[in-house]
Structure 1
Amino acid sequence: MAKPSIVLVHGAWADASSWNTVASELRSLGFTVLAPPNPLRGVASDAAYLSSFVAQRTTGPVVLVGHSYGGVVISNAATAGGDVKGLVYVNAFIPAEGESIFQILGGSGSALDVPDPTTVLDVVGYPGGPEGDAEAFLKEDSVYRYFAQDLPEEDAWLVVAGQRPITLSANATGSEKAAWRTLPSWAVIGTEDRVIPPATQRSMAERAGSKITDVAASHVSMVSHPEATIEVILTAAAEAGN
């Protein structure tokens, strides 16, 4: 059987470069690897973009890998385009139908679940957005303390400088699909994650029936400890290729 294509989907406050080490290693092992931009504009539109990308840019079996909000996107896109055989969630949301990120994080102990979000986020308007919507950037201190606390300072600063914002509406809108109900899935849980607490990740992964791997890492475990994510993707790819 041909090796599946691996499609790596970044989350909020990141871009495709967050997958650089993972992508390079997978490519060296002979996989076709793609890391498309995630628009971060809304669940339905982001999923439609990804499913269109997968349908047009891949052939044969595909493993979708999502980090953080990227987990919401792959859950909604997997059954709408391409021959997706498996899902890998890396420090990711694994929502059921109707669940939003705000709902999942509410009461979870997340560093982002605070009475005044502007203490951890910079919220700004953007042109062409729906009435009342806004973009959210992580404050510099939030990156260092909560998002990427196990990266060297210089690497964390690059996250600060290059982060792509997510809209508030993307966080408030419920998921429309849950592809994990019909596809095998795997979950990498960062046990030092301060954005999506490990207990919250584990609860979602167990509900989805995902095979779970723990790694002592922050929310960006695929950057700080890429070997764990690579190993899990290889396991998913082996099953997808059968």
Structure 2
Amino acid sequence: MESRASCQAKAPRLFARSQLGASVAVFAALITAVAPTPGAQANTTAYRQAPCPTPGRARPTVVLVHGAWADTSSWSGTVSALQRAGYAVRAVANPLRGLTGDAQTVRDFLDTIPGTVVLVGHSYGGSVITNAAAGDPDVKALVYVDAAAPDVGETTEQLSGSGSALGADPGTLYDRVPYPGAPEKAADLYLKREVFVRSFASDLPRDTADRLWASQRAASTAAFTTPSKAAAWRTIPSWYFIATGDRIIVPASQQAMAKRANAKITTFAGGSHLTLFSHPEAVTRVIEDAICSVR
């Protein structure tokens, strides 16, 4: 199913030398400083101001999973929007250490949530929810926000797609830092300043992007090289938010993943890989569609 734009029919090649992620820390402190992307105003129409009716049933809880180089505050705008509309919402800390362990951390968190869940992942967080939701009968919907949705055996680093900024030489993309207890050959990665500003946060004002770059949280290379053990989108209804300005996971790659998941697709004109930060209400509307599907 698709809304607002037609899919590109040709699936992209998968690139082994690319890495996903969305990076942000202290988003909450900066959210008021973000200027809307010119030309994208039509996509930010108001979301519903009250919860959709669910007669005789408890409403689902929305659980949000951030991507690489980010923390739970990357969802601050979305949390505020969902709470204003009357929905229950939680954002869970993603360890960013390896796909299998990160997914288990999220699964353990889900076990503490009573009732049904709408599970949302941004960027690398999409790979995490793809694994964490597998076999969990309480997860009724998956929402991918500029995210990866791997199949079994695929790694996150394969899914950025042709033309991604992450297809360049890793030495020009990342600052690599060792960390205690790292698996063999693994290290923490930080995005270099110009990559972050020009490709990662390309729809944000320069001063805002600079502050987000300076406060980024590292992600282990193991997060991107671990093969997916599950593909929850095969059995759980899925939604996909795709920003056409994403230079990290290119729209064609996202379209291909969304189509094979039979997801309901919303294409946002403009934005960047951080559209959840620059246009949280547009993202909230897609999450709300998923909430209202739960019966």
Common fold by TM > 0.5: yes
Instruction: Look up the match of 1:186.
Output: 239
Instruction: Look up the match of 1:213.
Output: 266
Q: Aligned partners of 2:280, 2:194: CA distance in 1, in Å?
A: 24
Between the aligned residues of both structures, percent identity stands at: 50
Paired AA for residue 71 in structure 2:
D
Shift of 1:158: 2.8
The DSSP-based 3-state class of the residue aligned with 1:194 is coil
The answer (yes or no) to whether the contact 1:186–1:236 under 8 Å persists in 2 is yes
Instruction: Look up the match of 1:230.
Output: 284
The answer (yes or no) to whether the contact 1:123–1:135 under 8 Å persists in 2 is yes
The alignment's TM-score, normalised by the length of structure 1, stands at 0.95
Q: Aligned partners of 1:111, 1:137: CA distance in 2, in Å?
A: 15
User: Which one of the candidate residues 73, 77, 100 is aligned to 2:128?
Assistant: 73
User: Which structure's relative contact order is higher, taking Cα pairs within 8 Å and 6+ residues apart?
Assistant: 2
1:163 equivalenced with 2:219 (yes/no)? no
Paired AA for residue 44 in structure 1:
T
Render the CA deviation track for 1:24-67: whole Å, top value 9, x for unaligned: 110111211111110000010000000000111x1111000000
1:39 equivalenced with 2:95 (yes/no)? yes
Paired AA for residue 64 in structure 1:
L
By percentage of residues, which structure has more helix?
1
Q: Aligned partners of 1:146, 1:178: CA distance in 2, in Å?
A: 28
Paired AA for residue 213 in structure 1:
T
User: Which one of the candidate residues 142, 146, 152 is aligned to 1:91?
Assistant: 146
Q: Which structure 2 segments of 5+ residues have no match?
A: 1-56
Instruction: Look up the match of 1:195.
Output: 248
Paired AA for residue 19 in structure 1:
W
* RMSD (Å) for aligned C-alpha atoms: 1.2
Q: Aligned partners of 1:225, 1:90: CA distance in 2, in Å?
A: 12
The answer (yes or no) to whether the contact 1:62–1:82 under 8 Å persists in 2 is no
The answer (yes or no) to whether the contact 1:14–1:159 under 8 Å persists in 2 is no
The alignment's TM-score, normalised by the length of structure 2, stands at 0.78
Q: Aligned partners of 1:178, 1:87: CA distance in 2, in Å?
A: 11
Q: Aligned partners of 2:282, 2:178: CA distance in 1, in Å?
A: 37
Shift of 1:184: 0.3
Shift of 1:77: 0.3
Range that drifts further, 189-198 or 220-229: 220-229
